[in-house]
């Protein structure tokens, strides 16, 4: 009976040894990998939206602004509007999930 060639211990190649611990960094830094991926996606969006464009607002014309600047401005305006509405309608004592203990109110139940 012949010995099985796959059972014999052989020194591994450099490529095989490098691949053995290749996912170690990803397992230790999953958020870092996600940040790198998001950075790559942001750079792709930036590269695709550098061309100038114009917008007509009623009788004003905003001309020759890059699409990226217009997108960032609209995001900032939207965030400011959202924050203003949140502060106006969700006063500190009436937040979602707040209990009477959190707001300083006392219970009106009688013993």
pLDDT in tens, the chain (111 residues): 666 666 655 555 555 555 566 678 778 888 888 999 999 998 898 888 888 888 888 888 877 888 888 888 888 999 999 999 988 887 666 556 555 555 555 555 655
pTM of the model: 0.44
Phi, psi of 65 (to 5 degrees): -105, 140
What would the DSSP string read from start to end of 44-68?
HHHHHT-SEEEEEETTEEEEEEEHH
SS3 state at 96: coil
**DSSP H stretches of helix in the chain:** 14-20, 24-28, 30-48, 67-89, 100-103
């Amino acid at each position: 009976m012949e010995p099985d060639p796959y059972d014999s211990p052989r020194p591994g190649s450099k490529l095989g040894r490098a691949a053995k611990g290749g996912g170690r960094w990803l397992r230790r830094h999953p958020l870092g990998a996600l940040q790198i991926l998001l950075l790559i996606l942001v750079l792709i969006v930036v590269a695709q939206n550098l061309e100038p464009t114009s917008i007509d607002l009623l009788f004003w014309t905003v001309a020759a602004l890059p699409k990226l600047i217009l997108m960032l401005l609209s995001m900032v305006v939207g965030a400011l509007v959202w924050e203003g509405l949140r502060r106006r309608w969700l006063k500190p004592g009436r937040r979602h999930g707040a209990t009477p203990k959190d707001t300083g109110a006392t219970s009106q139940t009688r013993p």
